[in-house]
Amino acid sequence: MTRPFNFCAGPAVLPEAVLERAAQEMLDWHGTGMSFMEMSHRSSEVVATVEAAEASLRRLLGISDEYAVLFAQGGASSQFAAVPLNLGGGGKPFSYVNTGQWSAKAMAEAKRYGEVLEVAAACKELPRAIPEQDAWLSADDSAYLHFTPNETIDGIEFHWMPESKAPIVADMSSTLLSRPLAVDDFDVIYAGAQKNIGPAGLVILIVRRELYGRAHSSCPSMMNWEVTDKAGSMLNTPPTYSIYLAGLVFEWLEAQGGLAAMAERNRKKATSLYAAIDGSEFYGNPVAVADRSWMNVPFTLADAELDKVFLSKADAAGLLNLKGHRSVGGMRASIYNAIPQAAVDALIEFMQDFEREHA
Ligand code: PMP
C-alpha cells in the first residue's frame, strides 16, 4: 500500500516504520500474549518501557539529571494552566511573548491565575516578524518568561534564544525534536506529542528540578510537576500506549542519526519549499525570512478564489491536509520529522504545475 503524503499540522504523520512495528506488536507484545495497552502500568514490563523511552529522549536531547523528564496528559493546553500554577506561588507577574495564536491562548489561560505582562508581540503587518529582544519589556522580575519557539498556526519561529533572569518556559509543541537543542538554556520545556512525538493527549515535559517549591497552593496534584516527578509520571494510570509509541519514535530518531541528522533533513525540506514560494509571483509567505518556521509553512495563492481548487487537486494528487488554519486561510504545509524530502518535492512539483495552469 502506498500512503499519501499527509501535511497535517497535528495530529500528524508518524514514521511508517514505527507504525509497522506497533502493528506487529499489537496483539502480542514481546511474547507476553498481550497488547502493550492491556498491561498493568505497575508491571515491570511497562515501567521498564517508560524508563527506556525517557532514557532515549535524554540521549537525543542531552538532558542532564538537573532536569526531570515527565509524561503528562491533557495536551499542551493543560500546561497553559500548569505553568502559572507551578511557578506562580510567589505572586510575581507572569511574562509572555505573544508571537501568535498559541502564545495568545497560553497568555489568556495564565490570566486566570495572576497578572500577565505581555513583554513583546509579533508585528501584525506583513511580513510578520518577531521583535528583537532590545525592544521587549523586561521579564526579570516575573515568575517566569513564557514563549512559543514555533507558532504552529502562524508559521513563525524563533531562530535565537531569548534571555532573562526569570525562568524561561517554552511551549515547543511543534518544534521539539526537529533539531538539537541546548536544553540548559531553558527552565521548562513542554510539548504536546501529536507532531514530532506520538499520539495526541500525551505531553512531554522537561523541568529544571531547582524550580520545585514555587507552586501555587491550589495547583492540582495531577498538574504538579514535582508531585508527578516523585511518582515517576505514574501518579495515576498514565497513557501507557502513547508513551510506548513515543518511545518507538525516539528509538527511530536515534536510528536515523539523532537530532543533528533530523536538523539537516528539516533544513533542506524547509529551504526547498520556501525557495519555491519565493521564486514564484503566484505564491506568497506572510513571515519575515529570518523568522520562518522549519516545521509549519503557511502560503497563500495570488487569488484566494483558487484555494478550493488547489486543495481538491492536491487531495487527488495524494497531498493531504494542506488547508491553512481556519483563522488564517490560505495553505499550510506541516513538514515534521516523518515527512520525507520526497513529499516536499512532490508538493513543489504540484505547486509549479498548478501555477502553470492557473496563473
Ligand atoms: N501549543 C502549540 C504550539 C500547538 O501547536 C498546539 C496544538 N496545535 C497546542 C499548544 C495545543 O495542543 P493540545 O491540542 O495538545 O492541547
Torsion of CA 285, 289, 291, 297, to 10 degrees: 30
> Mind listing the pLDDT tens digit for each residue in 160-197?
999 999 999 999 999 999 999 999 999 999 999 999 99
Residues forming a β-bridge with 72: 203
User: Which atom of ligand 1 is least distant from the CA of 148?
Assistant: 3
Going edge to edge, which strands form the sheet with 296-301?
283-284, 296-301, 331-334
Number of neighbours of residue 216 by Cβ within 10 angstroms: 17
Active site residue 195: yes
Whole-angstrom distance, CA of residue 10 vs CA of residue 22? 20
Nearest-CA residue for ligand 1 atom 5 is 152
Nearest by Cα to 314 from 322, 306, 326:
322
- To the nearest whole number, what is the mean pLDDT of the chain? 97
Is the link from the previous residue into 127 a cis peptide, with omega within 30 of 0?
A: yes
Please give the distance of CA 212 from its chain centroid, rounded to a whole number.
24
pTM of the full predicted structure?
A: 0.98
Residues forming a β-bridge with 188: 169, 207
Whole-angstrom distance, CA of residue 253 vs CA of residue 61? 11
The mean per-residue pLDDT over the stretch 234-253 comes to: 98
Active site residue 102: yes
Nearest-CA residue for ligand 1 atom 12 is 76
> Mind listing the pLDDT tens digit for each residue in 107-131?
999 999 999 999 999 988 999 999 9
Judged against a pLDDT cut of 90, whether residue 278 lies above it is answered with yes
Residue 8's contacts (CB-CB under 8 Å, 6 or more residues apart) are 320, 321, 334
Which of 102, 136, 252, 294 is catalytic? The answer is 102
DSSP string over 48-60: HHHHHHHHHHHHH
All structural domains of the chain: 16-255 (3.40.640.10), 258-358 (3.90.1150.10)
